[in-house]
Chains A and B, each alone.
Chain A
Amino acid sequence: MNKSVYELGKADVAWCPGCGNFTIWKGLKEILAEMKINPQELVMVSGIGQAAKIPHYIRCNVFNGLHGRALPAATGIKTANPELVVIAESGDGDMYGEGGNHFIHTIRRNPDITNIVHNNMIYGLTKGQASPTSQQGFITPVQVNGVILEPFNPLTVAIALNASFVARTSTVDTDRMKMILKEAIQNPGYSLVDIFQPCVSFNKVNTYKWFKESTYYLEDSHNPENKFDAFARASETNKLPLGIFYRNTHKKSFEQSLSVYQEDKTPIVNRRVDLRKLEEFIKK
């Protein structure tokens, strides 16, 4: 499949020149084409923020909902029609801050969706306040004496909750980023891909150069099926590892576990209520 099927042609892209979003955008379209996913069968769900605008620049079905609420909407979509490919994509503030509770419980619920999080450690659209992943001491117009809060570590949280697939990558190495995204989409359960990405307008600390120098890829010998190893590696702060940290291959997806899909795989959206059956039931 040619990646041009995902091109809208007329999109007025709202990102700053040099933004890491461009790399993710391009890479995503390429792997979707490589995976031969029909745009008609793909639903991109997002919240609010600059990253959350990405569905508007891809030719596919789009549910651009509220700030922080992409994951529940994505869960509803996938449950109603498991034949759709569902990607929930937004920024760190949206997924980990406003949507923190949904992040926790969507991991527990484990719908077969891919959760891509653009992590630039800052709020861009509201012009430069701290995000949940901002590092301590990071000075902003609101956090005037530097961030006090412990940074949110999405990887350790996801691993602790036995997420089906947990990975982190960065826009520095496009090929590895694409490879990981592909595996995440293929994984039959909730998959988290946290992507480090520079905000060229507001984050003068965590720059492209900073990400390049402060990260490294996990060795091939890392066994993602070992939860304790995964947790230890995800906890590292000296230099930040990238790669697939954790996989839980034993999990059934949420929709697979639902009683309505035990005997009949037909999506509920293609079924009709049996009124006669209801009438009989009520009389009984």
Chain B
Amino acid sequence: MVKKEDISIVLCGPAGQGIKTAEKIMVSIFKKAGYNVFATKEYMSRIRGGSNSTSIRVSSKPIRALVDRMDILIPLDSQALHHVESRITSETIIIGEKEKLVEKKQNHNYMIFDVSLTKLAKEAGGVIYANMVVVGIIAELLNLDRSLVYSYVEDIFSKKEKEIVSQNINAIDLGYKTSSELDLDLRINIQPKKTAKIKEQIMINGGEAVSMGAVAGGCNFIASYPMTPSTSVLTFLAQQGKRFNIVAEQAEDEIAAINMTLGAWYAGARGMVTTSGGGFALMTEGLSLAAMLETPLVIHLAQRPGPATGLPTRTEQGDLLFALHAGHGEFPRIIFTPGTLEDGFYLTQKAFNLADKFQIPVLILTDQYFIDSYYNIPAFDFSEIQNKKYMVKTNKDYQRYALTKNGISPRGIPGNGDGMVVVDSDEHDYDGHITENLAIRSKMVDKRWQKMNEMVQEALPPEIIGPQESETLVICWGSTVNMVKEALHHINQNKTALLYFKQVYPLPSQTLPILKRAKKLIIVENNATAQFAQILKTQFNLDIPAKILTYRGQTFSVEELEKKLRKVIL
């Protein structure tokens, strides 16, 4: 039977059937009702057809990670059933049109509750309402107050015709009715506890966390070229552009995007680009330019599996070493790898300030899984949010690249003061003008690297989650953190802790002592070559023999990690 306090619901069907809308509605109303909610989706690179799925967890306790387990599956067609077949167990409750899902003669032991979604949808006003029938079914199973569902649906469809709103409501009602006629035991057994304070929390996904962090960091310019899975950040900032004074421009290509953004920073704006692997490859020339000009820059790089076009809509952590080494020439940079929504927000906000302070590129490395995953979190704490102004008013003798103790030359902007702000992609003198004076060249290289001292001092240390003095450390970075955390929680072994890196470059000096203290190191990465382990090897000459890797285009599930971790820990 279904576990009582943590239910996993999977909705699967062809693209274009409103799965995304159903997901958005369900996560919002479940949260409003006071449940902890997690949702993530996996989808194909197509507009219609195929099989896409969303996995939603509803729980009494906070949950933030993907599980394989499916307590309730709602497949919209037989292909959908096939798509998630490996996750079906004898305990999975399948709700759908039995005839459509399995052939009569087919030998199966699926627990299917026959519900004709199409018929009900047609009854409500058309086949397109099947997704809303599903919303009604699930809402009833979770004992949700109908008025809460109504008001949310009315709110999101407020700009549509009245008839459309009422047909959606009809579909939900039919879902409720159908569900209430299903086996009673089933309903009794799925009752996560509600928590009042969750209603006050926010429900966002990774793309929104990064976007909101950008606004909080004073971002007022974004130029990018659409590329899955990075586009949601461009979309968010474009849609909120008027509200928050942001210029959002879709550039002709990634090369234009990064050069526009550098132009904007040069003039005094705070800009960012959002892209994925292939687009970032085109941007590397501009990344190198940012370094030479010492013009700040924030890059959001949402990873997907490569090489080349790879798996456009899927997830991987395969671009870490690329991000670290991208760009011709030698120059410092910062790479953040947020794994939680909180870090997505706070680190993006911080990225703008660090880029501005050190006049360097700051990269925020996420991935499709992170971008598309939702869960409820307490509203962000703004009390510590500060945007420092680093620009100076120039005087008549202003020199853009004046030598200073820490390598940071005061940055002026054109039109603010009596000086001239001269920046050049060629090696340049203190004024910014082109030079081939090789003595100055050496000084400029030293000056650019000089900034590394403070950058290392300010680097964020890895977070130890679990017993501080553990013998075994499970190392991870970025979006795998929540799966590792939950898996370790299940293993419940008091000598093992998680070491989560949210900044992978530069690494702070505390890193090595933490790693050396442990007797056993295990690394978890969503790539084929353990790229972060390679960084640790290069930097600290440290070997990590136990590597848990996956590179099939999905991230780890909690169950998969638990199994693999048990093997190496116990």
From residue 160 to 183 of chain B, which have CB atoms closer than 8 A to chain A?
none
- The reply to whether A275 and B216 form a contact with Cβ atoms under 8 Å apart is yes
From residue 40 to 82 of chain A, which have CB atoms closer than 8 A to chain B?
40-41, 43, 45, 48, 53, 55-56, 59-66, 69, 71-81
- The reply to whether A48 and B425 form a contact with Cβ atoms under 8 Å apart is yes
Q: Is B252 an interface residue (CB 8 A)?
A: yes
Known contacts A66-B286, A80-B268, A281 near B243 by CB under 8 Å: yes
Known contacts A102-B252, A278-B244, A65 near B289 by CB under 8 Å: yes
Q: Is B379 an interface residue (CB 8 A)?
A: yes
- The reply to whether B286 and A76 form a contact with Cβ atoms under 8 Å apart is no
- B226-249 CB contact bits vs A (8 Å, 1 = yes)? 000000000000001111111101
Residue ID in chain A nearest B255 by CB atoms: A69
Give the distance in Å from the alpha carbon of A268 to the alpha carbon of B268 in the complex: 8
Give the distance in Å from the alpha carbon of A78 to the alpha carbon of B261 in the complex: 11
- Counted as pairs of residues, one from A and one from B, with CB atoms less than 8 Å apart, the total is 195
Identify whether the interface residues of B are mostly helix, strand, loop, or mixed: mixed
Residue ID in chain A nearest B253 by CB atoms: A101
Contact check: which of A56, A78, A275, A283 meets B424 at CB < 8 Å? A56
Give the distance in Å from the alpha carbon of A274 to the alpha carbon of B253 in the complex: 31
- The reply to whether B267 and A72 form a contact with Cβ atoms under 8 Å apart is no
Q: Is B375 an interface residue (CB 8 A)?
A: no
- B205-221 CB contact bits vs A (8 Å, 1 = yes)? 00000001001101111
Identify whether the interface residues of A are mostly helix, strand, loop, or mixed: helix
- The reply to whether B286 and A61 form a contact with Cβ atoms under 8 Å apart is no
Q: Is A142 an interface residue (CB 8 A)?
A: no
Give the distance in Å from the alpha carbon of A77 to the alpha carbon of B289 in the complex: 15
- The reply to whether A40 and B264 form a contact with Cβ atoms under 8 Å apart is no
- The reply to whether A62 and B220 form a contact with Cβ atoms under 8 Å apart is no
Q: In the complex, which residues of chain B have a beta carbon less than 8 angstroms from the beta carbon of A60?
A: 420
- The reply to whether A69 and B267 form a contact with Cβ atoms under 8 Å apart is no
Give the distance in Å from the alpha carbon of A193 to the alpha carbon of B210 in the complex: 42
- A253-272 CB contact bits vs B (8 Å, 1 = yes)? 00000111010000111111
Known contacts A53-B434, A56-B433, A64-B425, A272 near B218 by CB under 8 Å: yes
Contact check: which of B264, B380, B418 meets A80 at CB < 8 Å? B264
Q: Is B492 an interface residue (CB 8 A)?
A: no
Q: In the complex, which residues of chain A have a beta carbon less than 8 angstroms from the beta carbon of B255?
A: 69, 72, 101-102
Q: Is A39 an interface residue (CB 8 A)?
A: yes
Give the distance in Å from the alpha carbon of A170 to the alpha carbon of B247 in the complex: 37
- The reply to whether A64 and B424 form a contact with Cβ atoms under 8 Å apart is yes
Interface size on B, residues (CB 8 A): 62
Q: In the complex, which residues of chain A have a beta carbon less than 8 angstroms from the beta carbon of B423?
A: 62-64
Q: In the complex, which residues of chain B have a beta carbon less than 8 angstroms from the beta carbon of A81?
A: 267-269, 413-415
- The reply to whether B245 and A273 form a contact with Cβ atoms under 8 Å apart is yes
Contact check: which of A41, A69, A268, A281 meets B414 at CB < 8 Å? A41
- The reply to whether A79 and B215 form a contact with Cβ atoms under 8 Å apart is no
From residue 373 to 410 of chain B, which have CB atoms closer than 8 A to chain A?
379-380, 382, 385, 387
Q: Is A31 an interface residue (CB 8 A)?
A: no
- The reply to whether B285 and A66 form a contact with Cβ atoms under 8 Å apart is yes
Q: Is A172 an interface residue (CB 8 A)?
A: no
Residue ID in chain B nearest A14 by CB atoms: B434
Q: Is B44 an interface residue (CB 8 A)?
A: no
Give the distance in Å from the alpha carbon of A274 to the alpha carbon of B218 in the complex: 9
Residue ID in chain A nearest B433 by CB atoms: A56
- The reply to whether A279 and B380 form a contact with Cβ atoms under 8 Å apart is yes
Q: Is A83 an interface residue (CB 8 A)?
A: yes
Q: In the complex, which residues of chain B have a beta carbon less than 8 angstroms from the beta carbon of A74?
A: 263
Contact check: which of A259, A270, A275 meets B385 at CB < 8 Å? A275
Contact check: which of A64, A109, A278 meets B426 at CB < 8 Å? A64
Contact check: which of B242, B265, B268, B285 meets A260 at CB < 8 Å? B242
Q: In the complex, which residues of chain B have a beta carbon less than 8 angstroms from the beta carbon of A11?
A: 433
Give the distance in Å from the alpha carbon of A271 to the alpha carbon of B221 in the complex: 12
Known contacts A72-B259, A101-B252, A62 near B417 by CB under 8 Å: no
Known contacts A39-B420, A275-B216, A282-B379, A65 near B425 by CB under 8 Å: yes
Q: In the complex, which residues of chain B have a beta carbon less than 8 angstroms from the beta carbon of A39?
A: 420
Give the distance in Å from the alpha carbon of A53 to the alpha carbon of B215 in the complex: 37
Q: Is A28 an interface residue (CB 8 A)?
A: no
Known contacts A76-B221, A80-B268, A279 near B425 by CB under 8 Å: no
Q: Is B271 an interface residue (CB 8 A)?
A: yes
Q: Is B421 an interface residue (CB 8 A)?
A: yes
- B420-438 CB contact bits vs A (8 Å, 1 = yes)? 1111111000001110000
Contact check: which of B264, B285, B424 meets A76 at CB < 8 Å? B264
- The reply to whether A69 and B286 form a contact with Cβ atoms under 8 Å apart is yes
Known contacts A79-B221, A259-B241, A259-B242, A65 near B247 by CB under 8 Å: no
Contact check: which of A62, A69, A269, A273 meets B259 at CB < 8 Å? A69
- The reply to whether B420 and A279 form a contact with Cβ atoms under 8 Å apart is no
Q: How far is the CB of B379 from chain A (nearest CB, A)?
A: 5
- The reply to whether B382 and A275 form a contact with Cβ atoms under 8 Å apart is yes
- A19-41 CB contact bits vs B (8 Å, 1 = yes)? 00000000000000000000111
Residue ID in chain B nearest A60 by CB atoms: B420
Q: Is B9 an interface residue (CB 8 A)?
A: no
Q: Is A104 an interface residue (CB 8 A)?
A: yes
**Residue from B204, B289, B413 having most chain A Cβ neighbours under 10 A:** B413
Q: Is B266 an interface residue (CB 8 A)?
A: yes
- The reply to whether B289 and A40 form a contact with Cβ atoms under 8 Å apart is no
Name 20 A/B residue pairs within 8 A (Cβ), A-sorted.
A56-B422, A60-B420, A62-B421, A62-B423, A63-B263, A64-B425, A65-B425, A72-B256, A73-B263, A74-B263, A76-B223, A77-B414, A80-B268, A101-B252, A102-B255, A259-B242, A271-B220, A275-B387, A282-B379, A283-B202
